[in-house]
A and B are shown apart, each in its own frame.
Chain A
Amino acid sequence: MSAAPVARPATAEPWKQISSTSRLRIALAILLPLALGVTAILLGLRFELALLFVFMPSQLIMGVIAGRGISGKRGQSDAILQVLVMFFGAAVFVLLISVVWSVIAQGWPAMSWQFFSQNNVYISSTTSLEYGGVGHAIIGTLLVVFLSTVVTVPLGVATAVYLTETRGKTRSVVRTLIQALSGLPSVVSGLFIYALFIASGITQYVGWAGSLALIPLMLPTVTRVAEESLILVPQELRNGALALGAPAWRAFAFVTLPAAKSGLLTAVLLGIARIIGETAPLLITTFAADSTNPNVFNGPIATLPTYLYQFAATGYETSIQRAWGAALVILLLVAVLFIAARVMTRTKSASKKGRK
């Protein structure tokens, strides 16, 4: 136990002590534009116009006045910077909330037990929502995504191992190519598999072709995140294991790998999140099916994105509702993955703190 730290005197940070006039100025700079904006809306101005032409300018002006009053000339430009940052930042969240809220609100009416369990046989775009659902598409998505995960994760993690643990001569080439692959347009990936297997007559539309088309899209994400988490493992751990006489593979399997475990799991989850909503490559390779097809190696297979695409394209009211429902299901799947990834990274930092 070291001696208790000496308490800081209250005057240690004079810049944090704001006089009451300045407080009043700040309060005015926040409240007045708000009041003006609300008045403009109440007077019948459109919301966006009120925001852009009443609230924003008055907020800027009031901010500049307040800033000038508090810290002179440089307060002006600071106020402008802060107002703009808050405004643009808020815009992002308006968009995010708009997307998430509309999916939840519009998708909710479609939710029911049979929507999760039934498939799309005998369902047209005008059939009422009491019949049919996305059961077949959920199974299809899980199967197709599972198959590409099984192939991609070992490949991606092994590539990350190559990049971090070995001194291979082609590391920079591999890194560049993986980087390049992350920019591969998804539709081109689908076309590649189409050219390779379907156009050449090897197979018809089939589930595994879709899985293959997703691999080039998933690989860069998995590799990059895995590489990042392997780099975070301190070099001393590896050297310690090697110095104790462990062969390289044991040092990796019993020291580096456990240390990077949560990061690698995050890599897997982020990779899955990247491909679970991919549509274009699946439309080109797996096509859509109405019936439940539990076999990825035979016949076309439906997935959630293609289901959504199919019903959004027709434009009837019930079909639109089905599309929103499918969107909500995709969002739920993504949310589960996302929360799982969060929980894993959190347990890691928590256990670190605990050990100290």
Chain B
Amino acid sequence: MSEIERERRNLRAKPFSKADRRFYRTATWAANSSIVLVSLILIFLGIRSWPAFQSQGVGFVFGSSWNTSVEPIVMQIGPMLWGSIQISLLGLLIAVPMAISIAYFIVFMANKTIGRIVTTLVDLLAALPSIVLGLWGLLVFSPVAEGWATMLNQALGFIPIFASNSGNLLRSPFIASWVVAVMIVPIIASVTREIFSQLDRELINASLALGAGRWSTFRMVIMPTSFGGIIGGILLAMGRALGETVAIFFVLNLVFDYNWFQILDAKGGSVASMILAKFGEASPAEVSGLMAAGVVLFVVTLVVNSIASYIVAKAQPWRR
């Protein structure tokens, strides 16, 4: 540290005048309203979904059947919840290498102009609405990906993951996870790019000067320093993937039966898409069940997101 640390003085502007007090009060009021908003969402969804939780018990989250034509009605979202998690994890598996590659390319390989162009394109990908991606997934990508799935199934069908019971490979978790991957690549890429560009250049130059190549620098210098931030970005993207609704609804077959690992089979689930699919012709009791499903999904996303923001905050000390 060449600079002498100056004592930071607490410059405090006291709200003397009435106008100042009004200014601060407006800001505080707005901020508090966001607290109210989140609590309102939780309280109202909680109230409306309570009957479903009460009548279904723990089975609501883990059971695997949804039948509203019998009395008493059975509503269980286990396969949907697993499907959401499965698709997000698979999507991450596809998206993470792509996103880190793009970020590495922008920061460490491209020159300024190309880097800026690529950044713009990644931002453009982030701005594509999910319903447009869903339409693309349904009409353009699904047939192509079905071909890939057929090849995978024929070549590697002896491995349980690539096996298929039904023989129908369209509308599978495999395809849905690709669509989700396209959606979350820009999220991970922009977080990773920011972290990479905040890295201390001296550190990297020192590593290069010591004779390390790109790979050793990446593995021994870049990764250890930015690992936490990247994990945070990945979890942030997972939160988005878990909540994705329409795009998945277009490309996935929703089946109320656990499909643990046969990712090529046309049998999957997604809580958000299920809510959308069932909402149209739902009885009041069923709507309560759908809201309970929404609550479960929100809680899962909230947990993933809180972990993410905690990790990002810890890993990026320059952001306060």
Contacts and interface: CB of A to CB of B under 8 A. Distances in A.
A216 B272 contact: no
B125 A170 contact: no
Interface residues of B, number: 99
Q: Is the interface of A mostly helix, strand, loop or mixed?
A: helix
Contacts of B35: 170, 173-174, 177
Interface in A259-304: 273, 276-280, 283-284
Given A158-B27, A279-B245, A334-B127, A184 B101 contact: no
A38 interface: no
B28 A338 contact: no
B101 A88 contact: yes
A3 interface: no
Contact of B213 (A48, A78, A187): A78
B194 to A, nearest CB: 11
Contacts of A44: none
A309 B121 CA distance: 26
B206 interface: no
B20 A179 contact: no
Interface string B27-68: 111111111011011001101100000000000000000000
B7 to A, nearest CB: 15
Given A191-B291, A242-B11, A280-B272, A81 B218 contact: yes
Contacts of B213: 71, 74-75, 77-78
Contacts of A163: 31
A306 to B, nearest CB: 9
B65 to A, nearest CB: 22
Nearest to A157: B30
A85 B104 contact: yes
A125 to B, nearest CB: 15
Interface string B10-22: 0111011101101
A39 to B, nearest CB: 21
A199 interface: yes
Interface string B90-111: 0000000111111011000100
B297 interface: yes
A320 B139 contact: yes
B180 interface: no
A184 B279 CA distance: 18
Nearest to B294: A188
Interface residues of A, number: 95
B129 A305 contact: yes
B24 interface: yes
B102 A88 contact: yes
B27 A277 contact: no
B274 to A, nearest CB: 9
Interface in A151-173: 154-155, 158-159, 161-163, 165-168, 170-171, 173
A219 B11 CA distance: 30
B214 A78 contact: yes
A183 B30 contact: no
A89 B101 contact: yes
B27 A161 contact: yes
A324 B135 contact: yes
7 contacts: A85-B105, A92-B101, A96-B182, A183-B243, A188-B294, A279-B245, A283-B279
For the complex of A and B, the 6 pairs showing the least CB-CB separation, nearest first, are: A277-B129, A185-B243, A158-B30, A88-B101, A249-B23, A74-B213
